[in-house]
């Protein structure tokens, strides 16, 4: 995927023999790398198995804002759960930012880390109302977020300033983490797709075996369907990003902006570029207009005299109750863990998730920890507690299966859903779980571990 974060990502050899480690992390995106890094720092011998190259998945397409202001999340968590859950989520995010920034400074990692004010704004009355509730929730969390004026090329109804945020280059951070993992005695194998579930302390990877006491599934969307049921309690959402050059040179200096409105835009500076991230849709959803055209029309209207430098789409896993998953994969295996469902905020949440896994592997947090002790527990009651979202999600899955009867689109090798043609990206996308394939059938995004057999154009 060609994104704004181009650079030389180191390649690591493929798995080519049987190996034994303390912990095996499956997936080398930011989440898998944080898990591996935090585990090697605890003295564990860790191996990472990555299907492609490190950071080649969603991490490569991230806007990489390091903030606690995950849209207007706190009043929504308060409504869905309660203020204590909002408070825990907030303190974890603040702690993650502090620890990541301290680590980057201490290790002198060059990841283009810059402090910014993160400005959440809305152009609509409904959004204003949500931001007012958000401001009140920040007050209740005893955190000073203030109302501000958003310096945007159009009028807004309301904006709040979330200081103490940062932006950085996610690929550079991934490379630093990978180097640190290797330096501390860890091992990374790339080009190594895992298709099977661990069986006790052994994972079969093609003809080889990886033996480990613990396994961490950090494959973005978990690839093991049963047990776990992540295919029922998660889906993926895409964003279409366009970077431009040549517009107002002071725009977004020391600030980034995020609209909380449905189909709103996010803006951040990357060197001389302004990265505009918008057109957010469930993967496989087909709007009438081209998704890139939605962003391009916005650029033509508000950022005249600019040139497009790069455009791409990226997607992330969305949970039904706003909280990520970090903990035991399922009741059926105490030594298999999962980190996933970051709801487009994985730059802080993956660090927090890695901390949960470290605590569980060290025995400091029970794998059976109740929701009150681990708000990210994958075993929490997600489906019945979020019945409307569950029905919506099941509805999309059912409609996709029904689609198999009426159109001749290819079926997703993951679970047999009816794939949709994405004319913007020229890919086959799965509306159920977000697997994506090139028009020749090559896997672009998991959870599918098999390519499409159909097409050879």
Ligand X SMILES: Cc1cc2nc3c(=O)[nH]c(=O)nc-3n(C[C@H](O)[C@H](O)[C@H](O)COP(=O)(O)OP(=O)(O)OC[C@H]3O[C@@H](n4cnc5c(N)ncnc54)[C@H](O)[C@@H]3O)c2cc1C
Sole binder of ligand X in the list 449, 450, 451, 454 (CB under 6 A): 449
Sole binder of ligand X in the list 49, 145, 173, 444 (CB under 6 A): 49
345 is an interface residue for ligand X by CB under 6 A: yes
222 is an interface residue for ligand X by CB under 6 A: no
Please, what is the minimum distance in Å from the beta carbon of residue 32 to ligand X? 6
Do the bridges between strand 214-217 and strand 333-340 make them parallel or antiparallel, or are there none, so unpaired?
A: parallel
28 is an interface residue for ligand X by CB under 6 A: yes
Give the number of residues written for the chain.
457
Which is nearer to ligand X, 156 or 343 (by Cβ)? Answer: 343
Sole binder of ligand X in the list 127, 284, 346, 431 (CB under 6 A): 346
Which is nearer to ligand X, 31 or 274 (by Cβ)? Answer: 31
d(CA 210, CA 185): 17
d(CA 229, CA 344): 21
Q: 3-state DSSP call for residue 225?
A: coil
Please, what is the minimum distance in Å from the beta carbon of residue 5 to ligand X? 11
316 is an interface residue for ligand X by CB under 6 A: yes
203 is an interface residue for ligand X by CB under 6 A: no
314 is an interface residue for ligand X by CB under 6 A: yes
Which is nearer to ligand X, 404 or 438 (by Cβ)? Answer: 438
Residue in 131, 61, 33 with CA at minimum distance from that of residue 354: 33
Q: Is the dihedral of CA 307, 157, 237, 169 positive or negative?
A: positive
The three-state (H, E, C) secondary structure of 165-198, written as one string: EEECCHHHHHHHHHHHHHHCCCEEECCCCCCCCC
**Residue-wise DSSP of 15-29:** P-S-EE-SEEEE--S
30-40 helix and 170-183 helix, angle to the nearest 10 degrees: 30
- Burial class of residue 103, CB neighbours in 10 A (0-12, 13-18, 19+): middle
User: ∠77-227-429 over CA atoms, to 5°?
Assistant: 70
Sole binder of ligand X in the list 19, 21, 24, 32 (CB under 6 A): 32
Which range binds ligand X by CB under 6 A, 86-94, 114-122, 345-353, 360-368?
A: 345-353
51 is an interface residue for ligand X by CB under 6 A: yes
Q: 3-state DSSP call for residue 256?
A: strand
Q: How many residues bind ligand X (CB under 6 A)?
A: 41
Which is nearer to ligand X, 273 or 446 (by Cβ)? Answer: 446
For residue 22 the two structure tokens come to 């303390």
193 is an interface residue for ligand X by CB under 6 A: yes
Please, what is the minimum distance in Å from the beta carbon of residue 53 to ligand X? 7
For residue 34 the two structure tokens come to 């944080």
d(CA 216, CA 24): 6
30-40 helix and 346-362 helix, angle to the nearest 10 degrees: 40
220 is an interface residue for ligand X by CB under 6 A: yes
Sole binder of ligand X in the list 315, 330, 422, 435 (CB under 6 A): 315
72 is an interface residue for ligand X by CB under 6 A: no
Residue in 387, 397, 114, 377 with CA at minimum distance from that of residue 256: 114
d(CA 260, CA 238): 16
63 is an interface residue for ligand X by CB under 6 A: yes
31 is an interface residue for ligand X by CB under 6 A: yes
218 is an interface residue for ligand X by CB under 6 A: yes
242 is an interface residue for ligand X by CB under 6 A: no
Please, what is the minimum distance in Å from the beta carbon of residue 312 to ligand X? 9
52 is an interface residue for ligand X by CB under 6 A: yes
Sole binder of ligand X in the list 3, 137, 165, 239 (CB under 6 A): 239
For ligand X, the binding residues (CB under 6 A) are 26-32, 49-52, 56-59, 61-65, 193-194, 218-220, 223, 239, 241, 277, 314-316, 342, 344-348, 350, 446, 449
């Amino acid at each position: 995927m060609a994104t704004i974060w181009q650079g030389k990502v180191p390649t690591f050899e493929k798995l080519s023999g049987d190996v034994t480690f303390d912990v095996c992390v499956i997936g080398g995106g930011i989440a898998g790398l944080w898990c591996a890094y935090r585990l090697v720092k605890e003295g564990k011998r860790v191996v990472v198995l990555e299907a492609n190259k490190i950071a080649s998945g969603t991490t490569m397409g991230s806007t990489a804002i390091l903030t606690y202001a995950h849209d207007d999340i706190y009043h929504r968590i308060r409504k869905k759960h309660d203020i204590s859950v909002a408070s825990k989520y907030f303190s974890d995010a603040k702690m993650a930012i502090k620890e990541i920034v301290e680590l980057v400074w201490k290790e002198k990692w060059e990841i283009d880390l810059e402090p910014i004010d993160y400005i959440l704004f809305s152009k609509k009355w409904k959004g204003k109302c949500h931001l007012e509730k958000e401001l009140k929730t920040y007050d209740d969390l005893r955190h000073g977020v203030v109302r501000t004026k958003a310096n945007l090329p159009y009028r807004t109804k309301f904006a709040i300033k979330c200081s103490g945020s940062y932006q950085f280059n996610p690929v550079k951070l991934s490379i630093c983490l990978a180097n640190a993992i290797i330096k501390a005695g860890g091992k990374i194998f790339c080009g190594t797709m895992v298709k099977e579930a661990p069986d006790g302390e052994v994972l079969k990877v093609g003809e080889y075996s990886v033996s480990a006491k613990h396994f961490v599934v950090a494959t973005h969307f978990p690839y093991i369907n049963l047990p776990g049921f992540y295919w029922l309690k998660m889906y993926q959402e895409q964003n279409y990003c366009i970077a431009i050059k040549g517009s107002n040179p002071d725009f977004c200096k020391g600030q980034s902006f995020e609209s909380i409105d449905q189909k709103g835009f996010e803006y951040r500076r990357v060197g001389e570029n302004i990265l505009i991230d918008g057109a957010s849709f469930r993967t496989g959803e087909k709007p009438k207009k081209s998704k890139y055209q939605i962003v391009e029309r916005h650029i033509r209207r508000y950022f005249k005299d600019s040139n497009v430098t790069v455009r791409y789409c990226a997607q992330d896993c969305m949970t039904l109750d706003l909280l990520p998953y970090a903990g035991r994969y399922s009741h059926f295996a105490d030594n298999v863990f999962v980190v996933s469902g970051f709801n487009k905020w994985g730059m802080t949440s993956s660090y927090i998730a890695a901390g949960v896994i470290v605590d569980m592997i060290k025995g400091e947090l029970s794998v059976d920890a109740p929701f009150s002790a681990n708000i990210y527990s994958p075993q929490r009651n997600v489906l019945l507690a979020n019945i409307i979202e569950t029905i919506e999600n099941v509805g999309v899955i059912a409609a996709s299966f029904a689609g198999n009867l009426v159109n001749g689109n290819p079926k997703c090798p993951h679970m047999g859903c009816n794939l949709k043609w994405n004319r913007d990206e020229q890919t086959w996308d799965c509306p159920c779980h977000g697997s994506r394939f090139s028009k020749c059938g090559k896997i672009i995004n998991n959870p599918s571990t098999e390519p499409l057999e159909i097409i050879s154009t």
